[in-house]
Amino acid sequence: MIPAKIDTMSITTISENGVESIIDWFDQHKQSFYTLGWSYLRNQQQMEELFYRSIIKVHKELPRFKRETSFETWVTSIFIHTCRELSSDRSLQVSEESEQHKDLFKALYQLKEYEKETVVLTYIKGISKEETAHLLQVSVEKMKEHLFSGIQSLRKEMGYGSSFNGCEEYHKNYIDYLERTLDRSKKVDFEVHIYHCQDCQEDLSTFQDVMLTMLNLTERMEDFHVPSGFMENVKDRLAEKEKQRQQKNKKRKRKGLVFASVLALLMGIEVFTGSFTNLYYTYTEEDQQLRAFLQQDLGERLNLEAENNGVKIRIKSAIADDVQTLVFYEIEDSAEDNQYVIDYHEGVSVKNEHEIMSSETFPRYYPPDLKSDVNNKDKNVYHGKISLLPLIKDSGTIKLKITKLQKLIRDSSDRNSFRAYQNMEYETGEWNFKIPVKKQPSIEYALDEETEVEGIPVRFDKLTIAPTATVLQFGINNNQPAKRIEFLNFDNLEVNNKKVKADMYGSTFMESQQDMNWTTFQTHFGPLIGEKPKEVKVQFESVYLTFEDNKTIELDTTQEYPQTFEYAGSTISIDKLEVGQPTIIVISNHDIENRAYEVLNLNIVGKDGNEPNSIEMNSEGVIVDKNGVEYDMNELPFSYEEIEQPRHFDTIQSIRIDGNNTGEKLIPKRLEIYGYNTTKYLDDIVKVSLE
């Protein structure tokens, strides 16, 4: 569960405090996350690496957190992805484990990934089945099947035997029965059955033993010590990383100035020698972006191949710079008419990542390209690209290992969209590559321009032109008490009459903040290969704002609900107020037309000003595009990338409150609304001067 003061904390507040606030949050939650990590890894050095990477990723991805789920659940999803990345290296050396729980963790380590994650999230992290299902992107029923399978596997590993002898039709009732959530009629039927069935009695008994072992571990996690100085080591690494980043930035800026002069000379030579190269790649490379890179001699054709189970992956080329390493690939299914894509977060690892790649940034996400002619030509061939971390060396060999491919299931009603999160199918195997790469230099330009967005000062600091991307660094002044900018989204950037589109996933927060009055961000745009800017134009798309507008609503548990109140021009309903352990409060507003707010920022205060021990907030809502068209998130499929400037409106907010540690109920006294978030569409164009 999330402590109230953390879960209701403004994301802007966390951002303004920098990475230190994320470190403090992890420090408060280190016990449960350390135990979660230990179920994947058994090497102390790797555990420090796990926390180190997770803190950086949470800090980097913080601007994308939009409260569709609790903050802890969102962090847990990032933490699990990092666990998967590190645990994929089976060369890890086993170090000392907690003797008290050694056998249990050894058993957990042997489980299949989906079994382990379901068991650990449910019994070690204590996450609800609904949130566990959401995290693992499966239905609740499927999650229960995985939980049953996991406990069954644990039973085998812990010496209870490999199979259940009881009646199979009653297996699905074991978990709900032991957790006392089984429907009453089913409960009566089940109890009558086990009274007469010796095999089911024995099965249920051993099943309960395994569950109690897990719950006992959860209740006694304090016995599973986080080593002394563990978080201090992580903090020291983060501090050293920031020092190295500042030193590298100084070096890269000097290199960029030298490269600018060399580039002018090379472009002159290309007039005489480049014609044949351009003509050759025009006829031999179908991917337009890769063709442009090859024509500019920013990479080389590789044609590295590996095949498994009739699925052939060909690495066509790799383009590396200070922003990322782009790997272009082709996947052919020779057995059936299937198209497969590579997902960086699923079944992809770089064996020598620590040796040749930087951890100062994160790979970019590129959604599947469904509209290109090359991907609509053959039903069994897909051409794509993935982003890997940038190199720390001028050249090297990437040892890439792929163990899972995602099947591209296109929507039958619209071939240009696909079901990304519904009924996902995968092809497993092993494809290994050694990819030679050379890092291409970037050029940095200092900017000197300031404007206002919704009355809030915005300044432009730096433009970086790298071969694979164009990066705009800008700052936002958020000293205004009543209104501040959370995210600023751009439509395009224009240099020398050439426009490049902005990354649709918006701006990213900069780790290092030079001025406490300004919050610094970066936005990625498409590449401007070979351009030397004479003038820069930036067009805005939208801004996501936080408004401070305090209102207190008194809660009376003796009254009947629903009841309504007015806020920000809307009538909001308190649908339910149910006192218990936990206490449940549900508020709703389904009228989104011309609504001032998208999301409310609120908290619950108990009687006599008591704060709850923990508070969990969940929401339901709809996505609305710029033209007012609504998309129900529960009615898949739809392609989020195809929606024009989407906005997410909360329609129902459910608040779950736990009382204090002694088990006393918290009597809610007040609903306190601090403010709200909303999106404003923009179309302003700003001319930015270079220093």
CATH number, residue 509: 2.60.40.1640
**Residue 616: per-residue pLDDT:** 78
Looking at the fold, whether 382 and 461 belong to one and the same domain comes out as no
Tokens of 277: 């190269």
Give mean pLDDT, residues 227-238: 83
**Residue 237: per-residue pLDDT:** 83
Q: Is residue 216 scored above 70 in pLDDT?
A: no
Give mean pLDDT, residues 2-23: 54
**Residue 2: per-residue pLDDT:** 34
Q: Which domain holds residue 614?
A: 547-681
Give mean pLDDT, residues 81-88: 76
Q: Is residue 462 scored above 50 in pLDDT?
A: yes
**Residue 264: per-residue pLDDT:** 44
Domain termination residue (choose one: 538, 561, 578)? 538
**Residue 11: per-residue pLDDT:** 52
SS (H, E, C) 486-499: EEEEEEEEEECCEE
Where does the pLDDT of residue 387 fall: very low under 50, low under 70, confident under 90, or very high at 90 and above?
very high
Could you read off the pLDDT of 164-192 as tens digits, one per residue?
A: 667 877 777 777 777 777 777 778 787 77
247 class by beta-carbon count within 10 Å (0-12 exposed, 13-18 middle, 19+ buried): exposed
Residue 381 lies in a domain: yes
Q: Is residue 412 scored above 60 in pLDDT?
A: no
Residue 624 lies in a domain: yes
Where does the pLDDT of residue 481 fall: very low under 50, low under 70, confident under 90, or very high at 90 and above?
confident
When divided into structural domains, the chain yields a total of 4
Residue pair 523/643 in contact by the 8 Å Cβ criterion: no
Looking at the fold, whether 294 and 215 belong to one and the same domain comes out as no
**Residue 604: per-residue pLDDT:** 86
Looking at the fold, whether 448 and 376 belong to one and the same domain comes out as no
Host H or E run for residue 588: strand 583-588
Looking at the fold, whether 332 and 374 belong to one and the same domain comes out as yes
Triad 575, 633, 373: Cα angle to 5°? 170
**Residue 371: per-residue pLDDT:** 83
Looking at the fold, whether 68 and 209 belong to one and the same domain comes out as yes
Q: Which of 2-6, 277-281, 436-440 has the lowest mean pLDDT?
A: 2-6
**Residue 384: per-residue pLDDT:** 94
Length of the chain: 691
Give mean pLDDT, residues 127-141: 78
Among residues 4, 8, 15, 20, which one has the least CA distance to residue 62?
15
Percentages (nearest 5) of helix, strand, coil residues in the chain: 35, 30, 35
Is 41 in a helix, a strand, or coil? Answer: coil
Amino acid present at 380? N
**Residue 98: per-residue pLDDT:** 43
**Residue 419: per-residue pLDDT:** 47
Residue 240 lies in a domain: no
Residue pair 22/63 in contact by the 8 Å Cβ criterion: no
**Residue 105: per-residue pLDDT:** 64
**Residue 448: per-residue pLDDT:** 87
Residue 323 lies in a domain: yes
Residues in a beta bridge with 374:
none
Residue pair 62/71 in contact by the 8 Å Cβ criterion: no
What global pTM score does this model have?
A: 0.59
**Residue 193: per-residue pLDDT:** 82
Give mean pLDDT, residues 153-158: 72
CATH code at position 356: 2.60.40.1630
Helix intervals (H) in 330-458: 353-356
Residue 22 lies in a domain: yes
Tokens of 288: 């337009």
Longest Cα–Cα distance in the chain: 92
Is 339 in a helix, a strand, or coil? Answer: coil
Looking at the fold, whether 148 and 211 belong to one and the same domain comes out as yes
**Residue 388: per-residue pLDDT:** 94
Q: Treating both helix axes as pointing N-terminal to C-terminal, what angle do 71-87 and 129-136 enclose, rounded to 10 degrees?
A: 50
d(CA 136, CA 150): 14
Host H or E run for residue 401: strand 395-407
Residue 253 lies in a domain: no
Question: What b/e sequence results for 577-609 when a residue is b if at least 16 CB atoms lie within 10 Å of its CB, and e otherwise?
Answer: bebeebbebbbbbeebeebebbbbbbbbbbeee
Looking at the fold, whether 524 and 586 belong to one and the same domain comes out as no
Triad 78, 544, 600: Cα angle to 5°? 80
Q: Which residues contact 58 (CB under 8 A, 6 or more apart)?
A: 22, 75, 78
Helix intervals (H) in 274-302: 275-284, 288-295
Looking at the fold, whether 288 and 433 belong to one and the same domain comes out as yes
Triad 336, 337, 338: Cα angle to 5°? 95
Tokens of 560: 């009947």
Q: Is residue 537 scored above 70 in pLDDT?
A: yes
**Residue 565: per-residue pLDDT:** 95
Looking at the fold, whether 18 and 100 belong to one and the same domain comes out as yes
Residue 277 lies in a domain: no
Query: What is the edge-to-edge ordering of all strands in the sheet holding 570-578?
Result: 563-567, 570-578, 583-588, 647-658, 614-624, 630-632
Mean pLDDT of all residues belonging to the chain: 79
Tokens of 25: 């949050």
Q: Is residue 90 scored above 80 in pLDDT?
A: no
φ/ψ of residue 17, rounded to 5: -80, -10
Looking at the fold, whether 519 and 613 belong to one and the same domain comes out as no
Tokens of 104: 């249990």
**Residue 443: per-residue pLDDT:** 92
Among residues 65, 89, 63, 92, which one has the least CA distance to residue 77?
65
Give mean pLDDT, residues 652-669: 77
Where does the pLDDT of residue 429 fall: very low under 50, low under 70, confident under 90, or very high at 90 and above?
very high
**Residue 456: per-residue pLDDT:** 94
Q: Which residues contact 238 (CB under 8 A, 6 or more apart)?
A: 19, 23, 52, 55, 56
Could you read off the pLDDT of 35-54 as tens digits, one per residue?
A: 788 777 767 788 888 898 88
Residue pair 651/71 in contact by the 8 Å Cβ criterion: no
Neighbours of 544 (CB within 10 A): 20
Question: What b/e sequence results for 378-400 when a residue is b if at least 16 CB atoms lie within 10 Å of its CB, and e otherwise?
Answer: eeebbbbbbbbbbbbeeebebbb
**Residue 91: per-residue pLDDT:** 43
Looking at the fold, whether 193 and 72 belong to one and the same domain comes out as yes
Q: Which residues contact 29 (CB under 8 A, 6 or more apart)?
A: 72
φ/ψ of residue 331, rounded to 5: -120, 125
Question: What b/e sequence results for 628-638 when a residue is b if at least 16 CB atoms lie within 10 Å of its CB, and e otherwise?
Answer: eeebeeeeebb
Looking at the fold, whether 362 and 428 belong to one and the same domain comes out as yes
Residue 153 lies in a domain: yes
Give mean pLDDT, residues 487-500: 92
d(CA 329, CA 142): 33
Give mean pLDDT, residues 122-143: 78
Cα–Cα distance list, 257 to 263, 444, 470, 683 (Å)? 10, 8, 17, 34
Domain termination residue (choose one: 492, 514, 538)? 538
Give mean pLDDT, residues 5-11: 43
Q: Is residue 596 scored above 80 in pLDDT?
A: yes
DSSP string across 298-315: SS----EEEEETTEEEEE
Domain termination residue (choose one: 438, 453, 477)? 438
Give mean pLDDT, residues 403-417: 71
Triad 143, 613, 669: Cα angle to 5°? 110
Among residues 35, 21, 141, 131, which one has the least CA distance to residue 77?
131
Tokens of 421: 């999160």
Give mean pLDDT, residues 483-512: 84
Q: Is residue 493 scored above 50 in pLDDT?
A: yes
Amino acid present at 365? Y
**Residue 662: per-residue pLDDT:** 57
d(CA 143, CA 115): 9
Q: Which of 125-129, 518-522, 665-669 has the lowest mean pLDDT?
A: 125-129
User: Which segments within 439-569 are labelled E, that is strand?
Assistant: 443-453, 456-465, 470-477, 483-495, 498-501, 508-509, 518-525, 536-554, 563-567
Q: Is residue 629 scored above 90 in pLDDT?
A: no
Give mean pLDDT, residues 403-427: 67
